[in-house]
Amino acid sequence: MTDINKIAELIKENYSKNGCMDYAIRSLSDDENYQVGDQCRESYEWDYEDDISTYNTTGETAGGTCGTHITNICGDEDDEEIAEALESTIKQNQIYGDRQIIICGKECNNDGYFDGENEIRIIDAFVLAIL
């Protein structure tokens, strides 16, 4: 079981070190393995014509690493607010897989079509925590 309070502390520490950032929960693909601090690869777009990831077709990337946005969290909120947002987003993201990480970054790419609810594409995302 993930210790939500420890992750809330990590988010607050990250805020004090790096300022406000975007945070997301990402379910990992079978070929992804990260450690805390690693930079994430860009996600692939979805090929709607063939109903498959462009990883398997054109290789077109999404302009950032996709995840389910932890909304209303910057890092300066109180622990309870952060914990509530984390728990809600972790549950929401589980439809994409059980191996989850928390990613963050200073910029996001809002271009293009977003398939998932609360999807965000974080540019130069790195791993803050492994769930």
Q: What is the pLDDT of residues 29-80, one digit of tens each?
A: 898 999 999 999 999 988 888 999 899 899 999 899 999 999 888 888 888 8
Look at residue 1 in the predicted model and tell me its pLDDT.
Answer: 41
Cα separation, 96 vs 29, in Å, equals 9
Cα separation, 57 vs 73, in Å, equals 35
pLDDT over threshold 70, residue 115? no
Name the residue ranges covered by the structural domains of the chain: 4-130
Residue pair 41/101 in contact (Cβ under 8 Å)? The answer is no
pLDDT over threshold 80, residue 110? no
Length of the chain: 131
Look at residue 48 in the predicted model and tell me its pLDDT.
Answer: 86
Return the bridge partners of 93, or none: none
Look at residue 46 in the predicted model and tell me its pLDDT.
Answer: 85
pTM of the model: 0.88
pLDDT over threshold 70, residue 120? yes
User: What share of the chain in percent tops pLDDT 90?
Assistant: 58
Look at residue 75 in the predicted model and tell me its pLDDT.
Answer: 83
